[in-house]
Amino acid sequence: MDAIPKTMGQQFGRRSWAEPWKIKMVEPLRRVTAAERVSALRAADYNTFLLKSDDVYIDLLTDSGTGAMSDRQWAGMMLGDEAYAGSRNFYRLEAAVRTHYGYAHILPTHQGRGAEHLLSRCAITPGQLVPGNMYFTTTRLHQELAGGVFVDVIVEDAHDTTSLHPFKGNVDLGRLEALIAKEGANRIAYVSLAGTVNMAGGQPVSMENVKALRVLCDRHGVRIFLDATRMAENAYFIQEREPGYADVPIAAIVREFCSCTDGAWMSGKKDNLVNIGGWLAVNDWTLYEELRNLIVVYEGLHTYGGMAGRDMEAMAIGIEECLQDDYIRSRVGQVHYLGELLTDWDVPIVQPVGGHAVFLDARAFYPHIPQHEFPAQTLAAELYLDSGIRAMERGVVSAGRNPETGDHNFPRLELTRLTIPRRVYTQAHMDVVAESVKTIFDRRAETRGLRMTYEPRYLRFFQARFERL
């Protein structure tokens, strides 16, 4: 009789791997009882964003600022130069961004959203179009508030959760070319490129695609700005899947990819491994001057931009750490471990599994719940009720409303995101998550949808409230 597989590697027919770090400090978790979970979710009106963290067992709401910093980063926090102007930590951060991402001019921001706001204000003329490889919530809002109109030009496979296309984040170059031909290059503010694409399930962009995009945009005089928030994870997929890159270090792939763009914004709370902060980087001096003038209005002086010196130091160190091959391999490996467990149980998820999260296909999970009854929001609520695990909705609630008609935007993807914080949870936690998802999947037929009872004006998924139907 064959031995029953026991270890993680044996389960999947390979050797096991381990995280490239050891634990130095722990934060106790509180098990939340079933009665407490019912009470907490009702108080939050079925919106997991409104739950108190003390009422959460395993927190998979986001990977934004929820990761763990290294001992080197914590040591760097003690080296904070909190001078109002000319902090030495800014110059450390500036050098790190230039070295690893390759851009000429760098501005720190309080987080990625600040960078999105500034770039939109300076790079969009009202009425211009902003084509991109699928929208992101805050990015699109800033573009719209600046008078722009986002146009999705991602490849068609990105909208199919079952497609195994290795680079579902790619720009459909034909669609983009057709848009430019129809509207004229002057109507295009810039191409908004994300690597990886969050709303598509954390899907990557290939090096071949970004190089071809560069050629196309140069032909028409159109700029490319990159959401580099999870660029290290995007580079991992290029290394893993794209011919010619298997032996190229992650850091080199990131630098090559960024060289095809005119600038980037970063939420440092993801890849850069800090709890707060971001940056905006461009190559054009004239644009930089405009951004530098605005940053002192909305963020702070150009040498701190809403960040403390100690946070800039931690981010500079985090940039170096996030581009280490061993680190990124284990980070993506943990996400894929969870995805493999769920796939083996026939739970519908976005395939291939992305770099920062496993995305549950809520429409396939709850085919009896129509989209206007918010199946992805319902799934997040059910997961919390079962186990105290907090996830988040990425469907019709996140998509918001059409600013002209006021109707719901109904995206083709209705997803619930299980987002894995960096260097925080163990494989045992992933096992607990997988088993909870399997439990609610097995009883899916008895689950009812939700009705929205309160809707804020902007980014409603953060603060909307619901009730059971």
What residue type is assigned to position 328 of the chain?
Answer: I
d(CA 216, CA 394): 31
Instruction: Report pLDDT for 1.
Output: 43
Q: Is 270 a catalytic residue?
A: yes
d(CA 104, CA 14): 43
DSSP β-bridge partners for residue 357: 419
Instruction: Note whether 124 and 148 are within 8 A (CB).
Output: yes
Whether residue 2 has pLDDT greater than 70: no
Q: What share of the chain is helix, strand, coil (3-state, %, to 5)?
A: 45, 15, 40
pLDDT in tens, 376-419: 999 999 999 999 999 999 999 999 998 889 999 999 999 999 99
Catalytic, out of 136, 167, 190, 327: 136
Mean pLDDT, residues 108-120: 97
DSSP strand pairing (389-390 vs 263-267): unpaired
Instruction: Report pLDDT for 7.
Output: 75
d(CA 400, CA 428): 36
For the chain, give the mean pLDDT: 96
Q: What structural domains does the chain harbor?
A: 8-63+325-468 (3.90.1150.10), 71-322 (3.40.640.10)
Instruction: Report pLDDT for 5.
Output: 64
Q: How much of the chain exceeds pLDDT 90, in percent?
A: 94
d(CA 94, CA 316): 8
Catalytic, out of 59, 227, 311, 361: 227
| DSSP tally for the chain: helices H, then strands E | 17, 14
Instruction: Note whether 9 and 17 are within 8 A (CB).
Output: yes
Whether residue 304 has pLDDT greater than 70: yes
The DSSP call for residue 401 is B
d(CA 106, CA 117): 15
Q: Which of 113, 207, 205 is nearest to 168 (CA)?
A: 205
Instruction: Report pLDDT for 3.
Output: 60
Per the structure block, which two tokens stand in for 428?
């045992």
First to last CA, the chain: 51
DSSP β-bridge partners for residue 58: 389
DSSP strand pairing (450-454 vs 465-468): antiparallel
Let me know how long the chain is: 469
Q: Is 136 a catalytic residue?
A: yes
Q: How much of the chain exceeds pLDDT 70, in percent?
A: 99
DSSP strand pairing (415-419 vs 357-361): antiparallel
Q: Is the peptide bond before 447 cis (omega within 30 degrees of 0)?
A: no
* Tokens 């109904």 sit on residue: 410
Mean pLDDT, residues 326-337: 96
pTM (2 decimals)? Answer: 0.95
d(CA 231, CA 337): 21
Catalytic, out of 137, 139, 229, 378: 137
Q: Is 461 a catalytic residue?
A: yes
Instruction: Report pLDDT for 4.
Output: 67
d(CA 281, CA 99): 12
Please report the DSSP string for 437-462 in residue order: HHHHHHTGGG---EEEEE--SS-GGG
Catalytic, out of 14, 42, 84, 344: 84
Mean pLDDT, residues 269-280: 97
Q: Is 137 a catalytic residue?
A: yes
Mean pLDDT, residues 307-321: 98
Catalytic, out of 270, 363, 423, 444: 270
